[in-house]
Structure 1
Amino acid sequence: MNELLFDRALVARERAHAPYSGFKVGAALRTESGEVYFGANVENVAFPNGWCAETSAIAQMIAGASSAPGRRIAMVCVVADRVDGGIVCTPCGGCRQRLKEFAGPDLVVHCMDPEGKGESFTLGELLPAAFAVERF
């Protein structure tokens, strides 16, 4: 697991806007060109108009990267509390599909708790039958 991504995701998690659920999430990604972007979840009282940490990080990447390699995700780290008796928090279905837009099935997604313990998955494991241009 990449220490820099974990640290950035942890910082983003602390800055999350989660006044309704209290469930803070941070995400950081590294592009193929080596740039690092991070984001936090942002809740909205008009549920479901908030957005996820992964979505925030992807938006930062799009705003900051002008080249194709700068818009291809090479690695992701998501930091959140564990759920349902100790299960690591993985990206939601929508975020899995958003990650797929900018990465292949071999993308490594590190899902960590704030103490730095967790599991890693490939995007292919998390989203085995993703919508993709190749499928249409």
Structure 2
Amino acid sequence: MEQWSQLMDAGTTHYLTGDLAAAEEAYERALAEAESLFEPGEPRHLLSLAMLAAVLALRGRHAEAEGLYRRQLALREEAELEEDADLAECLEGLARCLRARGADAEAEGLEARAREVRARLAEEKGDG
């Protein structure tokens, strides 16, 4: 688990300094580590998928990122995880990838769902 944490930290450092190639490499290794350590749908596994997807999307590799976002979404739904900010971010990331390839109708549905999740969370928190 320490190796996973170190790889995630390295990926984040590279991401924040703009070295997306190095961030991608670290997050790919972190995902491989997560898949050997954690159950599918476990929060650290989902975080590994999310971070790699985000970097791939920023690098213009929308099809690869889309696959990871879809996988993350399917695992969340299979595990019946609560709707939270992480779900909203996943939906928004997937929507951005879809828009990048012209699938606007599907993207709109995901964006609407993300807005609903965020509105409900704000209301529960007392911000809405």
**TMscore range, shorter length:** 0.3 to 0.5
TM score, norm. by length of structure 2: 0.35
Structure with bigger helix share is 2
TM score, norm. by length of structure 1: 0.33
Task: For CA contacts below 8 A with separation 6 or more, give which structure has more relative contact order.
Answer: 1
